[in-house]
Chains A and B, each alone.
Chain A
Amino acid sequence: MHVVLMLAGIADPKKPLERPSSGEWKDILDTPVTPFKLSPFDEAALELGLKLRDTDPSVRLTAIVTHGARDLALMRTVASHRLDRVIGLPPPAAKRAEPRWLAEHALGAMRGEPAPADLILIGREHGDLDDGMVPAFLAATWQLPFLGLAQAVRAGDPDGWMAERTGRTATETFALSRPAVISITNAKSNRLRHPLMKNVLQAKQQKFEILEPNADIAYARVETVSAEPPASFARGSAPCEMLEGSVKDQARKLADLLSQYASGDNHAK
């Protein structure tokens, strides 16, 4: 059984976003300075792949790392989980917001594998520019069944997948045929494990294969014109009114305020 993990680095959310040396924020797409990390969704996708291999040691795991594939530390992080193959597929800056490019070339990368994919796991958002439409786009382009926001995946009978997610009113378990694309959201049950030290050391020696498809990158349906940090929130323009006094005093003042709101008095201060 072959499971492909589609992973995209995101600019480390715990570090300030660094302005590119050109001074132009839009160049962050081409020359990122902030180190890449896996998003919690991609970590969850990776963990679910590892869980499938725990259950069936014959599972082959391939990771295709797109954004951040040139960040050696990110590639080593992925490789430290002893995957069968880790491939880099960095999209050119002009194609960062173009999932059609990703669909075409990720499929090309998968075709180079010894076995076709039975399952493609992807975080619910792919990289720093996706709001969540990319996973469904990829699945539809590849004409594969798709389920979004799953938190657990297991092999189903006879040749399918069972994927579980939290719906609005209940947990939902879907049966999908193989091959399928499943996007993963974060949950306590799928937090990424720590890799073994020997695998971390092995990953440090690993050479990574970076695919650079010779595609026409001149044509783009979307062009990034500029990028800037957002202006301060309007709501932050007035100073915060800090409630003073003992904890009991503060609690009483806040309880009064909240009770007025709950009773529909929107003029409460």
Chain B
Amino acid sequence: MPSKNKLRAYALVHSAGAYSAGDHASLQAAAALASEAGGEAHALLLCTAANVAPNVLAAQQARVDSVSVFTLPESESPLQPQQVADLFASLLANTEPDTDDAGDGVASVIFVSAGTIAEEAAGAIAARIDALPLGRPLRMTPDEQGILHVVRSGFGGRLEIAQRVTAARCIAAVRAPGSADEPARNEGREADAAVRTLPCPPLAPAYPVTMGASGENEANLEGARLIVSGGRGMGSEKGFELLREVAARLDGATAGSLPAVDAGWTSVSRQVGQSGKYVSPAIYLAVGISGTPQHLAGIDPHTRIIAVNNDPDAAIFGVASVGVVAAWEEFLPALLEALPASGSASPAS
């Protein structure tokens, strides 16, 4: 019977500006996996000086075994993904070798918190350190031999694919657990990780970039408690103007499905789904959205979906908790008429 493989989990955290709990999802995932596998968890942080203390605290509270920090120079421009990848690859190069003192293999599982820049950087890090990119796994479990078993979503969310990973190094993006998820599994771990600060190596030059006007003056999707989203069934950009008005009345944000983005009715930065943003508002008001697995994959399972669709057989009604069968052209103006004036729906803060 083969001896048990050893496992080392790394959490990569890049925090230069404002940060949220979602930025620390990698810490929770690394500590949980290490706890389950009886292995080690290490946090590797890229922070500006002002952000070192809270991020170190977050890492210690996640009960990792060690914290290594690169303190970034203050800059008006955020790091670009290839620069983030360079720095993390450099930090990872300073970590333990892939074998232990006895010469036995140690598998490294590297986590980043899900997000566009982090995931782009993760792909580049994987190439730099010869790690296997695993995308955004749904579940990761070590078996008794220490082999990692991963379940991934594939084929537009239509299949869950179970894989056995024997790579010496792999990298995955993880999301912050929802409020109703199991608590982090970091039992038996201490919150006293040693911290070492390393000199930050020189950054490679960033790609020159010119910023233009966005033309957008809407609430961010991230952190929105209520999202009003439109799909192919909206038929035109005109419907999205009404959706924006509904969202503004309710202090919410707007979003769209892939076909709506494709049609140019809303921006790609507001695309929700397997290929777009993952959102976890309390309410997701889906208008003219059929409810494909690809779209639903971008909505937290704990979010309450309210669906408006003129097709009573639309799949969205199978996952919605409240439904309205109506044409948006008639329904949205009536809804706007029934809603309180802008801002009065929420208590003053």
Q: Measuring CB to CB, which residues of chain A are less than 8 angstroms from any residue of chain B?
A: 10-11, 13, 17, 25-26, 28, 40-41, 97-100, 103, 124-125, 128-141, 145-149, 151, 166-176, 185-189, 191, 220-230, 233-236, 238, 240-243, 247-248, 250-252, 254-259, 261-264, 266
Contacts and interface: CB of A to CB of B under 8 A. Distances in A.
A187 B212 contact: no
B213 A171 contact: yes
A254 B328 CA distance: 13
B252 A221 contact: no
Nearest to B130: A100
A152 to B, nearest CB: 12
23 contacts: A98-B132, A99-B126, A103-B127, A131-B119, A131-B153, A131-B173, A140-B82, A145-B82, A172-B209, A172-B212, A220-B166, A224-B163, A227-B162, A229-B158, A230-B160, A233-B296, A243-B322, A247-B334, A251-B338, A255-B340, A257-B322, A263-B347, A264-B347
A3 B127 CA distance: 23
Q: Interface residues of A: mostly helix, strand, loop or mixed?
A: mixed
B318 A240 contact: yes
B163 A222 contact: yes
Nearest to B166: A221
Given A125-B275, A247-B326, A133 B119 contact: yes
Contacts of B303: 235
Given A41-B275, A224-B162, A259 B250 contact: yes
B323 A227 contact: no
Given A136-B81, A224-B163, A167 B269 contact: yes
A243 B335 CA distance: 13
Given A140-B85, A240-B318, A261-B226, A254 B324 contact: yes
Contacts of B122: 133, 136
Contacts of A128: 154-156
Nearest to B122: A133
Interface string B18-56: 000000000000000000000000000000000000000
Given A128-B156, A166-B267, A259-B345, A252 B209 contact: no
Interface in B180-232: 207-214, 216, 220, 225-226
Contact of A234 (B152, B170, B301, B326): B301
B318 to A, nearest CB: 5
A17 B345 contact: no
Contacts of B330: 247
B318 A133 contact: no
Nearest to A231: B160
B261 A187 contact: yes
A244 B145 CA distance: 56
Contact of A149 (B152, B162, B268): B268
B116 to A, nearest CB: 7
Given A225-B164, A229-B159, 5 more contacts: A99-B133, A221-B166, A247-B326, A258-B250, A259-B345
B165 A222 contact: yes
A7 to B, nearest CB: 16
Given A25-B159, A188-B263, A238 B321 contact: yes
A171 B128 CA distance: 29
Given A174-B208, A262-B251, A187 B166 contact: no
Interface string B249-263: 011100000100111
B15 interface: no
Interface string B315-344: 001111111111000110011011110000
B162 A28 contact: no
B268 A227 contact: no
A129 B158 CA distance: 11
B319 A137 contact: no
A218 B303 CA distance: 43
Interface string B39-78: 0000000000000000000000000000000000000000
B135 interface: yes
A29 B320 CA distance: 32
A266 B225 CA distance: 11
Given A147-B207, A171-B213, A240 B123 contact: no
A215 to B, nearest CB: 17
A266 to B, nearest CB: 6
A171 B261 contact: no
A97 B317 CA distance: 34
